[in-house]
Amino acid sequence: MSKETYSIPLGPTARYEFQRSAVELCILNAMMWHISSERLTKIAPLRSDYESKYLVANNPSTQSPGATVAREAAWSTYEVALIDLYDHDILNNDDIPAASKDALHIHYTTSGGGTPASAPTTTPIVTLAAEEISVLHVIFADSAAPGSHSKPTNVAFLELVYNVNAPAVTPEDCTQRTNISRSRETLVFEPAQRGKVVNAFARWINRNGKTGPWSGSITAIVP
Q: Are residues 216 and 154 in the same domain?
A: yes
| Residue numbers of the domain that contains 181 | 124-221
Residue 119: inside a domain: no
Q: Are residues 97 and 128 in the same domain?
A: no
Q: Are residues 105 and 9 in the same domain?
A: yes
pTM of the model: 0.56
The whole-number pLDDT of residue 102 equals 83
Q: Are residues 133 and 106 in the same domain?
A: no
Q: Are residues 129 and 214 in the same domain?
A: yes
For the chain, list residues with pLDDT below 50: 1, 112-113
Residue 118: inside a domain: no
The whole-number pLDDT of residue 127 equals 96
**3 with 111: CB under 8 angstroms?**
yes
How far, in Å, CA of 54 to CA of 17, rounded?
Answer: 11
The whole-number pLDDT of residue 110 equals 56
**50 with 36: CB under 8 angstroms?**
no
Domain tally, the chain: 2
**70 with 57: CB under 8 angstroms?**
yes
The whole-number pLDDT of residue 1 equals 41
The angle at the Cα of 201, spanning 200 to 204, to the nearest 5 degrees, equals: 140
The single-letter code of the amino acid at 166 is: A
Q: Are residues 131 and 96 in the same domain?
A: no
The whole-number pLDDT of residue 114 equals 52
